[in-house]
Structures are given as C-alpha cells and as structure tokens.
Amino acid sequence: MSNTAKLTLEGKDYELPTLVGTEKEKAIDIRALRKNSGYITFDPAYVNTGACQSAITFIDGEKGILRYRGIPIEELAEHSTFTEVAYLLIYGHLPNKKELGTLKEGLTRHSMIHEDMKNFYNGYPSTAHPMAILSAMVGSLSAYYPNVTNPGITEEEMHDNYVRLISKVRTIAAASYKKSIGQPIVYPRNDLSYCANFLYMMFAVPSETYKIDEELVKTLTLLLIVHADHEQNCSTSTVRLVGSSKANLFASISAGICALWGHLHGGANQQVIEMLEKIQREKIPVKKIVEQAKDKNSGFRLMGFGHRVYKNFDPRANILRAACDRVFKKLGIQDPLLNIAKELEQAALEDNYFVERKLYPNVDFYSGILYRAMEIPTNMFTVMFAIGRLPGWIAHYRELNADPDFKIGRPRQIYTGEVQRSYVPIDKRR
C-alpha cells in the first residue's frame, strides 16, 4: 500500500507521495509542493530535510548504528584497511585482490606532488593553520590536472583523479607539518603502505633511519576508517552542493575541507584536546566544567559531546575509547588527558542536562587522544579528520554526478526584509 501524506492548506487538500528507504527511513516527497500549493517548507539547518537519496552510508542515531555500504563500522574497524574502505565507499563493494592491488599501485604512483607546488609552502608563515594550507593546495590541484575541469571527462580519468587526491592529501598534509617546524619536506616512499607512508613523511628526518611502528600504523588505520564517511554531515553536504554547480572534484573537496574546519564540526577534535589541556593545566574540577557546559551564558560547550544524529551513542567514540586503552597499553604510555576525558564523560553522563538532551561523546571526544599518542600536533587533528573523510567526500561527489535526476542545489527562503520602497536621494535622507 503506497502511503501518501495529506495536507490541507487554505481549505484545499493536497496529497503528497512518500518515499521509504532500504532501512525503512520514511520521507514526504515535497518536490511538487510549491508548484501545486505555492507553499515551500521551512527547515533551517535542514534538521528534518533529506537532500538526496544515497546508497553510501547508513546511520541509525537511536541505535548507534553506522554502516559503510551495509558493512558495520565495528567489522571494518576490526578487519579492514583504509585503502580497502576507500574503495568500498567509492565503488560500493569490497575490492577483490586485483582491484585492491590496482588501487594500491595507483596510490603509490600518485603520492608525489608536482615540484612547483612545493613553492607554495614558502609563501605561508610557519604559523599558518594546516587546514588553510590543505584547502588551498587541494583546490590548486586542478591547475596541475586540468582534465578534472573537462565536462567530458571519462570515468577512468575521474578514477585517476580520485586516486591522486587520496594519495596526495597525505603528502600535502605532511609537508605543511614539516614546513611548520622548519624541517625539510620528506618525499613519499614506494615501499610503504598508505598509513605507514604518511607517518614516514611526517616524522622521518634525513639524519636518522625512521622505524615504522606497526602499532601506530594500525592506530592510524583505525582512526581513518572511523572517519571515512558519515552520510550528509555539514562538510559532505558542502561537497555535494558545490559539486552540484558542476564545480570540479578538487574545488568541491576544497570546499568540504573548509566546512570541516568549523569547531562545531571537524574542528572539534582540536578543541577537545585544548579543553582537556586547560582542565589539566588549571586543575579545573571536572564538575565545574560540566556546570559551565550547562550554563547557556557561559558560551562554553563540552567539545566532543553531542551529535545531530546520534541520540544514544556514537559507535565511533566507543571504538576509539577502547583503542585508547589498547594502544596505550601496547605502547607502554600514559596520558593524563585520557583519565580526564573518562572522568568528564562519566560526570556528564550522570548529569540530567546531558541525559535529557541525549548528549554523548562523539567521534571527536577520543580521537585527539590517539593522535597525541602518535605525536601528531594538535593543530593537525582536523587535517587528520579530512584525510579520513576524503573517500567519503569522493564517494558522494561521484554518486551526485551519477544521479539521473542531477540538479544544481538551490534552496528557497522566506523573505523577512523591507517591502517595496523608493530610492531616496542623499540630501533627503535623515
């Protein structure tokens, strides 16, 4: 039985069709609403609005479910690699041996950036935030691979650009770190895996032999996998909206990087660590922080807590909390910030304010503690989020461009400004 929504407006009845997804999510299809009734819907921040149909990621916020192409995040976190997850998200299935081998070979072949791009780094102050550099460098890739702006570009040429981007984003990010500490940029090696190569480019120094720590490679793999996609979040929706104007891949991803930078979104992981460091430095009682977060006038929020969709728990936070204990034990390290984070989580989850509003730790609450264990600097945390989210952004860009009903995104508004009035010559103005 096909359900329809019945609407009565100004005495006239309208029937609106409905949509049901493969996971039983339901929507009222309002595509004909304005044409038939003259009304639009009003939903600031799109809290209740579906912008598209997508087959990439499924989230059930009430049950704490996250699946990439149907596979639970817990299984991917335990068994998969980031390269494999990137292929899964973009192409919809786990790669077979040949597909995975070809992707790995492409990631190795495309890991260098054009030598001329190295000059860009000389123009930035050493204090430049690496997200500013990342968004600029990714947008600039279209100058070196102009076929990406060609409307007739083939799927195979686009695949090469996906691989270039996923590979080079590591090189770009590591180079921004090296420049910020005055060390020479380290070129990628062809004998290292995706994550090992990134750690090598970040931490190798010419005078020493860099030893790959497999535990850190596994930790980075886990972090990138849990960040790889998250349906229509702010930055992914940005990539889709920019891509809907037929902006090229690199320009659309650069816009997504900028959206991710906001501290309410991907910038939260840096804010979480800065918050925990402040608590430690100033010996602020955890209860006081919780009280401050509840006080609307404080202008302070408990960073790393709360989520637009997860109203129970963020499965990624659970995975990363467990990883903190495992990795610290394996590396034989301690970090007082982990204890503060756990104490803060405990205090918040016992407080009615958080329980009533269903505010739980999100992916950003523990991720920074693992990045710290890997000696990645705090201002690089959101860059790490971007490296992880890149395959998801690419998958959505590809899905958007393959949509038979492709249209440029252009929301409506309710105008609340002045009604018509006339121009007043300056000598007649008050």
Residue with smaller CB distance to ligand SDX, 189 or 308: 308
Q: Is 73 or 113 the residue whose CB approaches ligand SDX more closely?
A: 73
Is 295 marked active-site?
no
Among 186, 195, 222, 359, binds ligand SDX (CB under 6 A): 359
Handedness of CA 78, 112, 258, 87 (dihedral sign): negative
Residue 82: name the closest of 230, 224, 227 by CA: 224
57, 47 contact by CB (below 8 A): no
Chosen residue from 69, 129, 307, 321 binding ligand SDX by CB under 6 A: 307
> Do 256 and 235 meet the contact criterion of CB atoms below 8 Å apart?
yes
For 51-205, strand residue ranges (E) read: 57-60, 65-68, 71-72
Provide the 10 A C-beta neighbour count for residue 14: 16
> Is residue 327 close enough to count as binding ligand SDX by CB under 6 A?
no
- Give Cα 43 to chain centroid, integer Å: 23
Active-site residue (options: 229, 307, 314, 396)? 307
Binding of ligand SDX by 363 (CB under 6 A): yes
- Could you give the CA distance from residue 193 to residue 410 in angstroms, rounded to a whole number? 41
Q: Is 393 helix (H, G, I), strand (E, B) or coil?
A: helix
Candidates 60-68, 200-208, 242-250, 264-272: pick the segment binding ligand SDX (CB under 6 A). 264-272
CB 281 within 8 A of CB 250: no
C-alpha closest to that of 292 among 309, 310, 273, 305: 305
Cβ nearer to ligand SDX, comparing 140 with 379:
379
Sheet holding 65-68, edge to edge: 57-60, 65-68, 71-72
Q: Give the shortest CB-82-to-ligand SDX separation in angstroms.
A: 16
> Rg of the chain's alpha carbons, rounded to an integer?
24
What is the SS3 assignment for 27?
strand
Stretch 190-249 residues interacting with ligand SDX (CB under 6 A)? 230, 233
Distance in Å, CB of 56 to ligand SDX, minimum = 13
Distances in whole angstroms, Cα of residue 48 to Cα of each of 32, 92, 312: 18, 27, 18
Q: Which stretch binds ligand SDX (CB under 6 A): 2-10, 63-71, 202-210, 358-366?
A: 358-366
Q: Return the range that interacts with ligand SDX (CB under 6 A); candidates 78-86, 248-256, 302-310, 405-413.
A: 302-310
Instruction: Please identify, using beta-carbon distances, which residue of 146 and 262 lies nearer to ligand SDX.
Output: 262
Q: Are 402 and 155 in contact (CB under 8 A)?
A: no
Among 301, 321, 396, 398, binds ligand SDX (CB under 6 A): 301
Q: Is 287 in the site for ligand SDX (CB under 6 A)?
A: no
Q: Which is nearer to ligand SDX, 168 or 316 (CB)?
A: 316
| Of 114, 131, 121, the residue nearest 256 (C-alpha) | 131
Q: Which helix (H) or strand (E) holds 12?
A: strand 12-20
By CB under 6 A, is residue 372 in contact with ligand SDX?
no
The yes or no reply on residue 268 touching ligand SDX (CB under 6 A) is yes
Q: Which stretch binds ligand SDX (CB under 6 A): 127-135, 195-203, 296-304, 375-383?
A: 296-304
**Does residue number 308 form part of the binding site for ligand SDX (CB under 6 A)?**
yes
DSSP category for residue 218: H
Residue of 293, 324, 384, 395 interacting with ligand SDX (CB under 6 A): 293
Give strand pairing partners of 6: 15
What is the closest distance, in whole angstroms, from the C-beta atom of residue 269 to ligand SDX in the complex?
Answer: 8
d(CA 381, CA 25): 33
Q: Which is nearer to ligand SDX, 95 or 229 (CB)?
A: 229
Catalytic-residue membership of 364? yes
**Binder to ligand SDX among 64, 306, 368, 388 (CB under 6 A)?**
306
Using CB under 6 A as the binding criterion, the count of chain residues that bind ligand SDX stands at 21
When the beta carbons of 84 and 364 are compared against ligand SDX, the nearer one is 364
CA distance 113 to 239: 23
Q: Does 362 bind ligand SDX (CB under 6 A)?
A: yes
Nearer of residues 293 and 338 to ligand SDX, judged by Cβ: 293
Q: Which of 34, 287, 288, 357 binds ligand SDX (CB under 6 A)?
A: 357
Q: Which residues bind ligand SDX (CB under 6 A)?
A: 230, 233, 264-266, 268, 293, 301-309, 357, 359, 362-364
- Give the active site residues: 307, 364
